[in-house]
Amino acid sequence: MSESGAIRREVVILDDKEALSREAAHRFVFLANQKIRAGGLFHVALSGGSTPEMLYGLLAALPFRDDVDWGKVHFFFGDERAVPPDHADSNYRMANAALFAPLSVPAANIHRMPGEAPDLDAAARSYEAELRAHLTGSTADAIPRFDLVLLGMGPDGHTASLFPHKPALQEKTRLVVASEPGLKPFVPRLTLTFPVLDAAAHVLFLVAGADKAVTLHRVLSGPADPENLPSQSVAPTNGRLVWLVDHAAMGQ
């Protein structure tokens, strides 16, 4: 366990992206079963990207697919691009192909962000209402608490669709906002904000690849620089923060 300022975090280094994804799958299954065996539903916010896609493929295959009661897992999204759900850039499309369809996840358990909505601000407010309606214990003035949030980190230090120097970084009250693009593809986004990310019981970063090494070193070992490195700002207030990284990403 290491600390950076007031942020307590665990950093686990794996050999490569496959080993990282397998470790993430074990952790996902453990946390899901822990919540389900206690009589509850498991609420997870998914991430986009190639590393999560590998994780989703593992979860949808043996042995992991038979280790979880998927009817008791509810899937949300950390962010989405302003594209239709069948678009190549859609995080939902990727998750559906890799995870939902192979597992035959009930449609009622999939809570996608409507990236194709003509009014993204209204879509963000609607998605926030959906979070409050489905996450147990969420009241009008409480912040919904995810059991698990999966996050990645871009080479520019962004996470979800919280990009460097964008207004969404300063949001303190809303849980979902429309976000300006900061990286290709340059389309607007919907994203969860820091208040709901920091309310999660578990936050799991998945970071693989040598192209992340310089930025990861700055995020984990450098001084606080939240405007340039949004990933650095994720700090669960009453939860666990774990970074799973591969050797290539830890190049420095």
Q: What is the pLDDT of residue 190?
A: 98
CA 4 to chain centre: 21
Domains in the chain: how many in total? 1
- Judge whether 252 lies within some domain: no
Q: What is the pLDDT of residue 117?
A: 97
CATH of the domain at 95: 3.40.50.1360
Walking along the chain (252 residues) 10 residues at a time, the average pLDDT comes out as 56 97 98 97 96 97 98 98 96 98 98 97 97 75 92 96 95 95 80 97 97 96 96 96 97 74
Residue 144 DSSP one-character state: P
Domain of residue 216: give its range: 2-246
H-type alpha helices, the chain: 17-37, 50-59, 91-95, 101-103, 120-134, 194-197, 213-221
Q: What is the pLDDT of residue 4?
A: 39
Q: What is the pLDDT of residue 2?
A: 36
- Judge whether 54 lies within some domain: yes
* Beta-bridge partners for 8: 3
Total-model pTM? 0.94
